[in-house]
């Protein structure tokens, strides 16, 4: 699947936000990837709430239409007092020119909700299922000069549609109390470094990171590792490719400083989840990972699921080999874009994980990219109305209590460590260890802890 990224320049993005207010844009449809057709448009954009179109032409214009109403192919005329057409032109050396055209107050409708491309009367996008716009100034109550709207160039080089999400303001009080101090950072470090599992035969807790491609699993481990090392590290391969950069099952140890003591937490990284059944991490492979049957550096292959006869399959396992906490990792910027197929895959994993009795938490990554208020000051992370709304949305979608949903920022561009980033990461690590203890407390004590089938409570022969 191609990587779908916005074609908006930083300047265009900033000017577009000036027309919309305090919002965030989520790319829903990109015609160069999904197709310049009405069908492709409706497949991605129907019933998405407030949206804005960004159409591009060779004359240097970015223009389009905003509506607060759903596209639904109802066949009706849709009224919308918040609808408008716009144009941004940065060519000609005269600086950026922005045009906003509101509909005539006497106009009955903003757009015709048909099975065609978006039809605003004055502008009909994807006209005749092609990369072009039909321009009819004055129709539908939108009046403009073609030269100002699109430079008389109605052929499109790109066509994108974004969902518009209001970010809200800051809560008067944070919905989760975090102590942002050097003393708290040191306290968390000490708690983690001195942690001992409830079961004496286990030396370190093991957690596995599970999430879609690009959610930030490897980057989360690298950030935890960097924090304990005291400098930036990149042990786990991370990237932004369309497919999972991680192809092996990896178990990573963490050291407190170069050559220092081993931190009593092992983080396991996996191939990213993908929608299709024959791509990304196989759900049944995860079960084998949970039970400890998969060795470090095992090459994962979605077309060849793991089974008992697979070379390298570890048949005899101990409590130390098993996963003690499952950590779901989701990109906060893409919470609203999780498809039903992806949610169904998570539900399947959740069901199997619950059956095995493994505690689970959910990490929302990239909070600074999702919310400008958090980017401005990370201490706003639990005061952000928008981030609280996204957390509740994930909690309901996954069936995970809000108390198990944590917000984090990983190190991605930084060259130096930052106290606030560390505190969020350490809070997540402490939560993982607390939940691992819950797993240990539920285990049945057997006579031979060196050879036990954890999930039937029977000693293996």
Long-range contacts of 25-28 (CB under 8 A, 24+ apart): 25/52, 25/162, 25/163, 25/164, 25/165, 26/162, 26/163, 26/165, 26/333, 26/334, 26/336, 26/337, 27/160, 27/161, 27/162, 28/161, 28/162, 28/163, 28/337
Predicted confidence pLDDT, tens digits, the chain (461 residues):
456 789 999 889 889 988 888 788 989 999 999 999 999 999 999 999 999 999 999 999 999 999 999 999 999 999 888 899 999 998 755 567 889 988 876 665 789 999 999 999 999 999 999 999 999 998 888 999 999 999 999 999 999 999 998 877 889 999 999 999 999 999 999 999 999 998 888 999 999 999 998 888 989 999 999 999 998 887 766 555 445 455 778 889 898 888 888 999 999 988 888 877 666 677 888 888 899 888 887 777 766 767 777 777 788 888 999 999 999 999 998 887 788 888 988 999 999 999 999 999 999 999 998 888 899 999 999 999 999 999 999 999 999 999 999 999 999 888 899 999 999 999 999 999 999 999 998 886 544 444 445 544 433 32
Considering just the CA atoms, what is the radius of gyration of the chain in Å?
26
Q: What structural domains does the chain harbor?
A: 10-166 (no CATH), 182-459 (3.40.50.300)
Whether the model pTM is above 0.85: no
């Amino acid at each position: 699947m191609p990587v779908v990224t916005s074609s908006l320049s930083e300047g265009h993005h900033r000017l577009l936000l000036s027309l919309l207010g305090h919002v965030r844009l989520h790319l829903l449809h990109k015609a160069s990837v999904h197709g310049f057709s009405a069908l492709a448009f409706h497949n991605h954009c129907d019933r998405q709430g407030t949206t804005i179109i960004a159409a591009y032409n060779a004359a240097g214009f970015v223009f389009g239409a905003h509506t607060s109403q759903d596209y639904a192919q109802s066949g009706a005329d849709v009224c919308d007092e918040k609808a408008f057409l716009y144009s941004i032109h940065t060519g000609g050396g005269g600086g950026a020119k922005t045009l906003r055209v509101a509909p005539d107050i006497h106009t009955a409708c903003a757009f015709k909700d048909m099975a065609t491309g978006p039809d605003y009367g004055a502008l009909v996008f994807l006209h005749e299922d092609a990369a072009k716009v039909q321009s009819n100034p004055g129709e539908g109550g939108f009046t403009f000069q073609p030269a100002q709207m699109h430079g008389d160039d109605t052929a499109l080089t790109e066509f994108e549609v974004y969902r518009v999400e209001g970010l809200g303001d800051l809560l008067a009080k944070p919905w989760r109390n975090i102590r942002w101090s050097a003393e708290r950072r040191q306290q968390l470090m000490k708690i983690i470094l001195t942690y001992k599992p409830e079961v004496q035969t286990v030396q370190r807790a093991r957690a596995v990171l599970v999430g879609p491609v690009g959610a930030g699993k490897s980057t989360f481990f690298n950030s935890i590792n960097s924090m304990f090392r005291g400098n930036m590290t990149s042990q786990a391969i991370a990237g932004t490719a369309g497919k999972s950069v991680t192809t092996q099952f990896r178990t990573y140890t963490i050291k407190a400083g170069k050559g220092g003591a081993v931190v009593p937490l092992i983080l396991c990284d996996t191939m990213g989840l993908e929608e299709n059944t024959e791509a990304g991490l196989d759900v049944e492979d995860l079960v084998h990972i949970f039970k400890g049957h998969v060795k470090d550096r095992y090459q994962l292959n979605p077309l060849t699921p793991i089974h008992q006869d697979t070379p390298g399959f570890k048949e005899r396992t101990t409590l130390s080999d098993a996963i003690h906490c499952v950590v779901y990792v989701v990109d906060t910027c893409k919470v609203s874009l999780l498809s039903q197929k992806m949610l169904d895959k998570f539900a399947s994993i959740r069901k199997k994980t619950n059956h095995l009795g493994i505690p689970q938490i959910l990490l929302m990554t990239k909070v600074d990219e999702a919310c400008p208020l958090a980017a401005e000051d990370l201490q706003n992370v639990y005061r952000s109305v928008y981030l609280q709304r996204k957390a509740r949305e994930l909690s309901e979608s996954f069936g995970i209590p809000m108390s198990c949903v944590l917000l984090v920022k990983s190190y991605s561009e930084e060259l130096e460590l930052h106290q606030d980033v560390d505190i969020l990461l350490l809070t997540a690590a402490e939560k993982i260890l607390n939940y691992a203890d819950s797993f240990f407390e539920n285990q049945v004590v057997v006579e031979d802890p060196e050879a036990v089938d954890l999930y039937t409570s029977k000693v293996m022969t």
